[in-house]
Amino acid sequence: MQNKKQDWQQHLEDLEKHYHPDKFFSDQENIPTNESNVREHFFAPALTEETDIPEEAQLSIDIYQDEDHLYVVTPIAGINPKSLDISLDKDILTIRGERNKEFSADPKSYIYQECYWGKFSRSVILPLPVKATKVEANFKEGVLKITLPKEEESRKVEIKVKASD
């Protein structure tokens, strides 16, 4: 009877560890944390050293649809619309451009700066097929609107199986 009581006590202590995660790892040297420690586990100089890759901003976009079209809308102030590069590669729409620094000031004179001047881009995977040859882009009052006609989706067809002799 005493042996069963000790086993039960041990079992309860083990359960206690499981229900209190802060105590669960108490017998281990290194307690796991949620903090990423890449340098200890994987050191790759190309990933940890600064590079000379130019900074590029990302556009904010809205995507909406009606029955026949997808629409991508993005505010892009301070650019010449002819300098925009818009491409569609299968289902990936990419918008690239550059805001000239003609409106920016000497970096030392800024009190507060949120506007980004320089190159920007944004790529988005479209949620459904579109007619690539019918895509239109319009730029009005600093807002770019891309209209993408939806491709008619293939309809369900029944396929008859033929018996081979």
Domains: count for the chain? 2
Task: Identify the band that residue 65 occupies on the pLDDT scale cut at 50, 70 and 90.
Answer: very high
For tokens 């901003």, name the residue. Answer: 57
In a domain? residue 141: yes
One domain for residues 61 and 139: yes
Task: Identify the band that residue 24 occupies on the pLDDT scale cut at 50, 70 and 90.
Answer: very low
In a domain? residue 46: no
> Which domain CATH number covers 82?
2.60.40.790
Would you state the torsion angle of the CA atoms of residues 101, 106, 112, 113, taken in this order, to the nearest 10 degrees? 20
- Short-list 102, 58, 106, 59, CA closest to 80: 102
Residue 75, domain extent: 57-149
Q: Greater confidence, 164 or 127?
A: 127
pLDDT at 93 over 90: yes
Task: Identify the band that residue 144 occupies on the pLDDT scale cut at 50, 70 and 90.
Answer: very high
HSE value, Cβ hemisphere, 13 Å, CA-based, for 142: 5
139 close to 77: Cβ distance less than 8 angstroms: no
Lowest mean pLDDT among 9-23, 112-126, 145-159: 9-23
In a domain? residue 18: yes
